[in-house]
Chain A
Amino acid sequence: MALLEIRNVTKRFGNFTAVDNIRIAIEAGEFFTLLGPSGCGKTTLLRMIAGFDAPDSGQILLDGEDIAGLPPEQRPFHTVFQSYALFPHMTVAGNIGFPLKMAGKTPAEIKTRVTETLAEVELTPFADRYPHELSGGQKQRVAFARGLINQPRLLLLDEPLGALDEKLRENMQRELINLQASAGVTFIYVTHAQNEALALSHRIAVMNRGRIVQIDEPSRIYNFPVNRFVADFIGKINLLSARVIEVSASHLKLTVTGLGEVIVPVNGDVKAGDQGVFAVRPEQVRIVAQSPATATETQLLGKIKDFLYIGDVTTYIIELTNGTLIEALLPNSVPGHAKLFDIGDSVVISWQEQSAQFLPD
């Protein structure tokens, strides 16, 4: 049985359907992420799990039992808020000990557990500081420690890294993975940052307009997006509108705007005449010297139109002879070079059949 089951949950605000008939089952020990653009309903769903909002219809089941009637304080879930929500009038130790105090633990027990937890998150020297005396990263760790100290069945995290700068965010991501593994607590993580979701999660539910679009492991979400929205939202991708003209057991033949006829692997349930997009990731597009193509590669002629130096990689924008633009990404592995090609260079681009796909709209 799943630890938490969300069964056909719907929530409306006036005419706006924030969460639309969502079904998810989350297993114990999972790091589960709700990913989507702002306004997709991910935070509303999290608030319903926490007990701050009630669903209009549907059920939320913990160990198979409906928790609709339970107020937030009676749910064995704790939340880490985006703003940290530390109590400004309590010290670090006071904040971390608060859930234990509310759970009716003795002062002696609270003291022992707080001391242990402070050591675990390396905040012992800050025990008597107030939240306004802490840095962003320290506040973050206090919030995690406070959420985990009373061993909740679920830790709900609402964009907890959103307020940190990029360097710190990367460190905290690693800490979070370790924290989840060592605490053995199931995490439900809400974010709009796709790279964060890919780096942290066991499974991701991609949401759009109140609905779940795809639930899968990070690598499958990235490599096999189910539709145009997921492909576009997760990472960078070349998308060109396309129509299916022929379906065989293992391949699809498409006519792609600007490319002509292209072969891609079968992906899901499609039939001839379906409209959608042809998709290929920039890092799968190769820029090669003009050499004969192998059987499984598609080759096209073009010119370098522009490039964007990012540091570790450079993105090249290639204009094909018919004017279509394709992005390709090459790692900068040659020391001292910012780019391998220059604007105006004639090139041939290619990709393996397996790395491209057809996505329905």
Chain B
Amino acid sequence: MPSFRAKQPAALWVVAILVYAFLYIPLIIVIVFSFNDSKLNAEWVGFTLHWYNALLHNHEMLLAARNSLIIAVSASFLATVLGTMAGLAIHRYKLKVLPVLAFTPVAMPEILLGVSLLLFFLQVLNLTLGMLSIIIAHTTFSIGFVAIIVRARLQGMDESIFEAARDLGATPWQTFRQITLPLIRPAIIAGALMSFTLSIDDFVITFFTKGIGEPILPIQIYTMIKVAVTPEVNAVSTLLMLLTLTLIIIATRFDNSMLGKS
């Protein structure tokens, strides 16, 4: 162990703790109050699972959750396939402009993406807004994330591995199946999980592209908050948080292993 580790100033720790507190205390409050036996988010009264039970009987909420899951699974699947292809192409052909175009939606303001997709669906595609339009929209903004992760993984690899496969008798397709795909698999899984979490809690773009049809989870939560922040909202938020956190942890595990292995 290097000795400078012991000399880290206490001030650094204080700052770190404050930053983490700022990030996580609001989330912890939501979780705590989802178990609070009171209609108000004011003071702790007692422990209950009532609000979770209420959620199970809230038809509208269950429908919203189902819809959101369908959208997240479909969009993350499509984004993973297309994003992986984009990542491979960008790495392989050393293109200049295309990578920027593929990665731009990642940094683009969501409101802009939402408005432009809305116009595109209505005026160019003549599409009735609904599940399909949301899936397309979510796929659009997730592709860039998958492409970035896959490309980063490829950049860390020895190019001669792929040439070695060809040289030793593998066709381009066999090289992809036997060598490329297994090696970028962690990046693909991380990208898929990332897309899923982005999709399931997206509000802005969903809001613009959902039309008037089916209820969608984040929008549903927002609608409920219009009245008051009820413990039921806390409960559904807690569940959503749990799902996202689990997926993010799994995603970073894959991401870490990909950094450590190569």
Contact = CB atoms under 8 A, between A and B. Distances in A.
Interface of A: 50-52, 71-73, 77-79, 81-83, 85-89, 98-99, 102-103, 132, 146-147, 150
A99 B179 CA distance: 13
A102 B170 contact: yes
26 contacts: A51-B166, A51-B167, A72-B167, A73-B166, A73-B168, A73-B171, A77-B167, A78-B168, A79-B164, A81-B160, A81-B163, A81-B164, A82-B160, A83-B160, A85-B161, A86-B161, A87-B179, A88-B161, A89-B182, A98-B168, A98-B170, A99-B168, A102-B168, A102-B169, A103-B169, A150-B169
Interface residues of B, number: 19
B183 interface: yes
A85 B158 contact: yes
Interface in B143-193: 158, 160-161, 163-171, 174, 178-179, 182-183
Given A50-B163, A73-B168, 18 more contacts: A51-B167, A72-B163, A73-B167, A73-B169, A73-B171, A77-B167, A79-B163, A79-B167, A81-B160, A82-B160, A83-B158, A85-B158, A86-B161, A87-B179, A88-B261, A88-B262, A150-B168, A150-B169
Contacts of A89: 182-183
Interface string B53-76: 000000000000000000000000
A71 B166 contact: yes
A88 B183 contact: yes
B180 to A, nearest CB: 11
* Interface-central residue, A51, A83, A87, A147, by most chain B CB under 10 Å: A87
A99 B183 contact: no
A54 to B, nearest CB: 14
A86 B164 CA distance: 8
A50 B164 CA distance: 10
A86 B183 CA distance: 12
Pick the 9 closest A-B CB pairs, nearest first. A102-B169, A85-B164, A85-B160, A72-B166, A99-B168, A81-B160, A79-B167, A89-B182, A102-B170
Contacts of B163: 50, 52, 72, 79, 81, 85
Nearest to B164: A85
Contacts of A132: 261
Given A72-B163, A88-B183, A89-B182, A99 B169 contact: yes
* Interface-central residue, A82, A85, A86, by most chain B CB under 10 Å: A85
Nearest to A79: B167
A102 B174 contact: yes
Contacts of A79: 163-164, 167
Nearest to A81: B160
A78 B182 contact: no
A258 B83 CA distance: 70
B168 to A, nearest CB: 4
Contacts of A83: 158, 160
A188 B2 CA distance: 48
Nearest to A89: B182
Contacts of B171: 73
A150 B168 CA distance: 9
A24 B182 CA distance: 40
Contacts of B158: 83, 85
